[in-house]
């Protein structure tokens, strides 16, 4: 079975539990129906995906036939992240232009063999934020940045899988904000163990969709969508996520599974979306600042990093302009001491 | 409540499910009783630790009174890792001597501010091995190494916690083998994103114990135990885990929680145990090789890395010589193509 073969849209309603309640979402994202009789949570569904996916699809087909007239309103503000906690979140950096710009910011060469071997890091997966939770940081001086990304969620992946067979293990596609504290990253990277403090909790758009639900937008083992980023309501980026990537999701998963198996519910990201065309704007503030610097904009006039009260909106739309995952819509909150 | 205040020993029996079945283990590790009426799995117990810990302690007290006469035999070979999958596994490197030797091997300086800021990386937590599962690697040329480590398991930790208050969130202490593929690490580190392929699945001794169960061996927010390592039956290391560390667990947790909250069940490691005294031997092969090189031993005569069929045994004992966590006892298996 191909894990992504049924056209499903799934979300997790907050119900006071840690893992929330699984719901099936109507194609227009305006309604939803409970799916708890099939699986209590999305992780439970992924743990037994071969059984759960066809049953979820039968439920979908029944509601499609009925016109979803028994659906409840789907309220993104009542959602948790599709996986409010996950057993793995591994993120790659596959957009050539992102590497080009970021390493100019770092004043370092692009990492060796960037186009030959996927560049990946292990992110924190124990606390995932919903689409509308605040981005909480201790200090704006940490240079709070957004990063709009597409990721996939896998079923169990055997060690040693190749890139072609890895595709059969892609169950879902998600949209996320890989928040980064740019001020902390160079110091962490210099120590050789990669990021930790520089990567606070990640936020997710409310709806996870199967590759089949993406239809023609699932192409070349990537989601070919337009991802729109706004900061405080102003357009910041309008990027194509299916282009200019040096690796696709099958190749990233094969890299991750080279020395160990991956558990069901592993989230695999492709990194900050980036297009070479400056007219597309950016999916992170650092890229925009580097472009400004290359254009000779003085330091003091560069686009600021995020600060208390700032609002970040990220949404992906398909070729007909329909929202695919619902929107990420977060505010930044500076909390010097939350303890 | 201090999460570690009750003297508990817990393990996870394999029952065909992903998370196994929680059992309470007798102090001598020879018997166990089911704890499923309190919490189905260890993660379930940690999710509601304030309720579960006193109930587990009442169960323990009842069996202590009865002399554990209703206990079943405790068979480590029937155990999974205490947490067969976890939402976070973050590992530090706090033993001064390990850094000293490892960076001689890497021919690099010790990372900047090693004694001022904990050096941490995010490990894979989706698939944890039991104490007796094989270490499977694709190729012995990857230089398969063991790393004997002590870690703690936390309850929910708020963002911004300080080192003193972090201690209240330590529920359990565990012993693990942080298997490393040394041949892959320098190439990964050189790319700046830290380890990924170089860190395959981690193995755990069967029993997780609370700080209270360690008694006087829980000292200075570290487990002060003797950790014995054997390779193919031959003594390889006999180290003190409570000494020569530049940070204790409270400080490591505070570092991890500086920019985000940590979820219940987060595993926090202190890194490869290492003592300056060469007579203590080593808790990883690379250290032993560096010591040999410094002694002028030729390359061809250095202690070999692990190969097919090799056996690794790691056990921690208290001041009276009693096994604290049960033993890790694994074989290495080279599987060129397991897919």
Q: Find how far residue A295's CA is from the centre of its chain.
A: 30
User: For B39-75, what is each residue's pLDDT tens digit?
Assistant: 999 999 999 999 999 999 999 999 999 999 999 999 9
So what's the pLDDT on residue B239? 98
- Kindly list the residues from chain B whose CB atom is less than 8 angstroms away from the CB atom of residue A138: 159-160, 258-259
Residue with tokens 């135990």: B225
Inter-CA distances, A276 with A222, A336, B133, B168, Å = 18, 37, 47, 49
Percent of chain A with pLDDT over 90: 95
- Kindly list the residues from chain A whose CB atom is less than 8 angstroms away from the CB atom of residue B120: 193, 196
Percent of chain B with pLDDT over 70: 99
- Kindly list the residues from chain A whose CB atom is less than 8 angstroms away from the CB atom of residue B261: 127, 201
The pTM (predicted TM-score) of the whole model is 0.98
Q: Of A126, A255, A339, which has the smallest distance from its Cβ to B162's Cβ? A: A339
- Kindly list the residues from chain B whose CB atom is less than 8 angstroms away from the CB atom of residue A120: 193, 196
Q: What is the DSSP letter of B299?
A: G
Percent of chain B with pLDDT over 90: 95
Mean pLDDT of B301-309: 98
Bridge pairing between strands A135-137 and A328-334: parallel
So what's the pLDDT on residue A222? 98
Judged by average pLDDT, the poorest of B75-79, B111-115, B225-229 is B111-115
Q: What angle do CA B122, B127, B129 make, to 5 degrees?
A: 105
Say whether A261 and B159 touch across the interface (CB within 8 A). no
Residue of A nearest to B113 (CA): A191
Judged by average pLDDT, the poorest of A122-136, A289-303, B95-109, B210-224 is B95-109
User: For A222-266, what is each residue's pLDDT tens digit?
Assistant: 999 999 999 999 999 999 999 999 999 999 999 999 999 999 999
Q: What angle do CA B148, B151, B152 make, to 5 degrees?
A: 165
Q: How confident is the model at residue A112 (pLDDT cuts 50, 70, 90)?
A: confident
The mean pLDDT of chain B is 96
Say whether B259 and A127 touch across the interface (CB within 8 A). no
Torsion of CA B256, A154, B79, B213, to 10 degrees: 20
**Residue B282 near residue B237, CB atoms below 8 Å:** yes
Percent of chain A with pLDDT over 70: 99
Report H helices in B235-335.
Answer: 249-256, 285-294
Residue of A nearest to B122 (CA): A122
- Kindly list the residues from chain B whose CB atom is less than 8 angstroms away from the CB atom of residue A195: 122, 193-194
Say whether B197 and A255 touch across the interface (CB within 8 A). yes
So what's the pLDDT on residue B105? 84
Nearest chain A CA: its distance from B335 CA (Å):
10
Backbone angles phi, psi at B81, to 5 degrees: -60, 150
User: For A20-67, what is each residue's pLDDT tens digit?
Assistant: 999 999 999 999 999 999 999 999 999 999 999 999 999 999 999 999
User: For A133-175, what is each residue's pLDDT tens digit?
Assistant: 999 999 999 999 999 999 999 999 999 999 999 999 999 999 9
**Residue B281 near residue B235, CB atoms below 8 Å:** yes
Q: Which residues are B154's β-sheet partners?
A: B170
Q: What angle do CA A68, A74, A80 make, to 5 degrees?
A: 135
The domain at A83-334 falls in which architecture? Alpha-Beta Complex (3.90)
Say whether A263 and B184 touch across the interface (CB within 8 A). no
Q: Of A142, A165, A193, which has the smallest distance from its Cβ to B120's Cβ? A: A193
CA separation for the pair B291, B277 (Å, rounded): 11
- Kindly list the residues from chain A whose CB atom is less than 8 angstroms away from the CB atom of residue B18: 47, 264
Instruction: Tell me which residue of B232, B223, B258 sits closest to B95, measured CA to CA.
Output: B223
CA separation for the pair A18, A15 (Å, rounded): 8
Q: Please, what's the largest Cα pairwise distance for chain A?
A: 59
**Residue A204 near residue A130, CB atoms below 8 Å:** yes
CA separation for the pair A167, A199 (Å, rounded): 27
Neighbours of B244 (CB within 10 A): 18
Sign of the alpha-carbon dihedral angle for A328, A333, A337, B1: negative
pLDDT at B339 over 80: no
User: For A272-301, what is each residue's pLDDT tens digit?
Assistant: 999 999 999 999 999 999 999 999 999 999
Residue of B nearest to A335 (CA): B160
Say whether A193 and B265 touch across the interface (CB within 8 A). no
Sheet of B311-317: strand order equals B135-137, B328-334, B311-317, B226-231, B234-240
Q: How confident is the model at residue B1 (pLDDT cuts 50, 70, 90)?
A: confident
Q: What angle do CA B202, B255, A101 make, to 5 degrees?
A: 85
Sheet of A135-137: strand order equals A135-137, A328-334, A311-317, A226-231, A234-240
CA separation for the pair B246, B252 (Å, rounded): 10
So what's the pLDDT on residue A183? 97
So what's the pLDDT on residue A339? 42
So what's the pLDDT on residue B184? 97
Q: How confident is the model at residue B107 (pLDDT cuts 50, 70, 90)?
A: confident
Interchain CB contacts (distance < 8 Å): A and B: 166
Using DSSP's 3-state secondary structure scheme, residue A312 falls into strand
Instruction: Tell me which residue of A86, A250, A88 sits closest to A161, measured CA to CA.
Output: A250
Q: Of B86, B192, B259, which has the smallest distance from its Cβ to A111's Cβ? A: B192
Inter-CA distances, B104 with A266, A284, B108, B224, B294, Å = 35, 38, 6, 27, 9
So what's the pLDDT on residue B338? 45
Instruction: Tell me which residue of B250, B220, B241 sits closest to B314, measured CA to CA.
Output: B241
User: For A179-229, what is each residue's pLDDT tens digit?
Assistant: 999 999 999 999 999 999 999 999 999 999 999 999 999 999 999 999 999
Neighbours of B245 (CB within 10 A): 25
Judged by average pLDDT, the poorest of B59-68, B74-83, B95-104, B216-225 is B95-104
DSSP letter string, B114-159: TTTS--EEEEP-SS-B-TTS-EEES-GGG-EE--EEEEEEES-B-T
Q: How confident is the model at residue A337 (pLDDT cuts 50, 70, 90)?
A: very low
pLDDT at B97 over 50: yes
Say whether A121 and B193 touch across the interface (CB within 8 A). yes
């Amino acid at each position: 079975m191909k894990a992504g073969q049924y056209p499903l849209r799934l979300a997790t309603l907050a119900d006071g539990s840690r893992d929330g309640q699984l719901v099936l979402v109507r194609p227009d994202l305006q309604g939803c129906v409970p799916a708890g009789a099939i699986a209590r949570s999305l992780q439970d569904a992924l743990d037994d995906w071969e059984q759960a996916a066809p049953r979820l699809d039968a439920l979908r087909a029944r509601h499609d036939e009925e016109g979803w007239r028994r659906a409840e309103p789907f309220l993104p503000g009542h959602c948790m992240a599709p996986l409010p906690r996950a057993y793995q979140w591994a993120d790659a950096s596959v957009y050539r232009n992102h590497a080009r710009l970021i390493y100019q910011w770092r004043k370092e060469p692009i990492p060796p063999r960037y186009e030959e071997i996927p560049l990946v890091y292990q992110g924190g997966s124990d606390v995932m934020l919903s689409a509308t939770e605040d981005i909480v940081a201790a200090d704006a001086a940490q240079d709070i940045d957004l990063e709009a990304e597409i990721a996939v969620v896998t079923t169990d992946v055997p060690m040693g899988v190749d890139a072609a067979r890895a595709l059969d293990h892609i169950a879902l596609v998600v949209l996320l904000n890989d928040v980064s504290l740019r001020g902390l990253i160079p110091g962490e990277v210099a120590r050789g163990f990669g990021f930790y403090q520089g990567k606070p909790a990640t936020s997710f758009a409310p709806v996870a969709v199967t590759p089949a639900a993406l239809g023609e937008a699932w192409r070349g083992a990537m989601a070919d969508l337009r991802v729109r980023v706004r900061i405080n309501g102003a357009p910041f980026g309008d990027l194509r996520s299916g282009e200019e990537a040096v690796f696709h999701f099958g190749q990233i998963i094969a890299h991750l599974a080279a020395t160990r198996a991956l558990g069901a519910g592993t989230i695999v990201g492709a990194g900050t979306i980036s297009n070479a065309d400056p007219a597309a704007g950016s999916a992170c503030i650092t890229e925009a600042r580097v472009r400004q610097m290359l254009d000779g904009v003085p330091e003091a006039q560069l686009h600021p990093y995020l600060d208390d009260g700032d609002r970040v909106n990220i949404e992906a739309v398909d070729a007909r302009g329909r929202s695919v995952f619902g929107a990420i819509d977060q505010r930044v909150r500076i909390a010097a001491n939350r303890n």
